[in-house]
Structure 1
């Protein structure tokens, strides 16, 4: 299944709950960080495309500096995606192939709607959280409001996500509320397996 939601929606909390229930997780965000680790071909390509200002003195990716560039300019974002997305897709495919045959495989993909990957999933779960709550969460994580707004603007709208959703998970309540809803989703996944 594909799992998606906008930045700050709580997708990671949902995927953690699903893993506790027994899901096999393939996390696109984690893989996206791995494909640009120091010494990787992905990091070398990003540095070549965006210059030395996106590399820290220790040789790692300066995510904040890169974010300021790519979330302010559509062409830059597409250039970054043309470098990283093929690497991410290849690693995701490798990990999916390594999953046990009877596993419920969860693909945590933030840009699932934007990448038009719908045909590859049996179903799509969308985590939905009101915009203001998402902005509050991002502020608590230290993301300045202007950067949070820019990242949200670069993603699909809530309406676009709802259009592809087979299952919606409302994450506007408490953690207990979320865990109860994820338990329901897990039972639905097992029924569909």
Structure 2
């Protein structure tokens, strides 16, 4: 099953609820970090393309610097996605194949945009009003709201995500509301997996 939503939508909170129910969750962001660790070929390619300024003194990727470069330049974002998406997909497939729970969740902000829907049977979308999404993402990350707006603009729109949804988790309320929705969906997923 795939779990997606824009920045600040509550994917991590929902994923934690599924984990608490004993479900293996594969985080696409985790896979994206793995493929750009120091010593990985992707990191060398990024540094060669964008310059050594995208690396920290430790040799690790400076994600904030890279994010600023690509969100202001669609061609550069496309180049980076072309490099990373196949590598991330390989890492995700390895992790999903290793899952031993009744079903597995692929948590991915770009589940739909990157074609990762081919790896899952259903798409669950985290939904909330965009104003609340912006507020939560800004508070969580300490980022300038304008930077969050750029990230939101680069992601699939709320409406487009909802069109692709098999299931929707409404995260406009409290965490207890989200947990209750996840428990209900979990029962449904168990039936589908059985």
Coarse TM-score class (shorter-chain normalised):
over 0.9
Contact in 2 for aligned 1:124/1:166 (Cα 8 Å): yes
Contact in 2 for aligned 1:6/1:155 (Cα 8 Å): yes
Alignment of 1:28-43 (within 5 A): 28-43=28-43
What is the aligned partner in structure 1 of residue 84 from structure 2? 84
What is the aligned partner in structure 2 of residue 50 from structure 1? 50
Contact in 1 for aligned 2:25/2:104 (Cα 8 Å): yes
What is the aligned partner in structure 2 of residue 129 from structure 1? 128
- 2:57 partner SS: coil
What is the aligned partner in structure 2 of residue 118 from structure 1? 117
Give the superposed CA RMSD: 1.2
Contact in 1 for aligned 2:125/2:165 (Cα 8 Å): yes
Contact in 1 for aligned 2:85/2:114 (Cα 8 Å): no
Contact in 2 for aligned 1:4/1:112 (Cα 8 Å): yes
Consecutive unaligned residues of structure 2, counting only runs of 5 or more, are: none
- 1:95 partner SS: helix
Q: Distance in 2 between matches of 1:30 and 1:119?
A: 19
- Write out per-residue CA displacement over residues 82-140 of structure 1, whole angstroms, 9 at most, x where no aligned residue: 1111110111111122122x531101111112123334321110001211111111221
Consecutive unaligned residues of structure 1, counting only runs of 5 or more, are: none
TM-score normalised per structure 2: 0.95
What is the aligned partner in structure 1 of residue 169 from structure 2? 169
Q: Distance in 2 between matches of 1:95 and 1:131?
A: 31
Aligned length in residues: 192
Alignment of 1:95-106 (within 5 A): 95-100=95-100, 103-106=102-105
Q: Distance in 2 between matches of 1:72 and 1:88?
A: 23
Contact in 2 for aligned 1:37/1:60 (Cα 8 Å): yes
Q: Distance in 2 between matches of 1:124 and 1:33?
A: 23
Q: Distance in 2 between matches of 1:103 and 1:80?
A: 34
Q: Distance in 1 between matches of 2:93 and 2:113?
A: 19
TM-score normalised per structure 1: 0.95
Q: Distance in 1 between matches of 2:171 and 2:157?
A: 16
Alignment of 1:181-192 (within 5 A): 181-192=181-192
Contact in 1 for aligned 2:4/2:124 (Cα 8 Å): yes
Q: Distance in 1 between matches of 2:104 and 2:131?
A: 31
What is the aligned partner in structure 2 of residue 62 from structure 1? 62
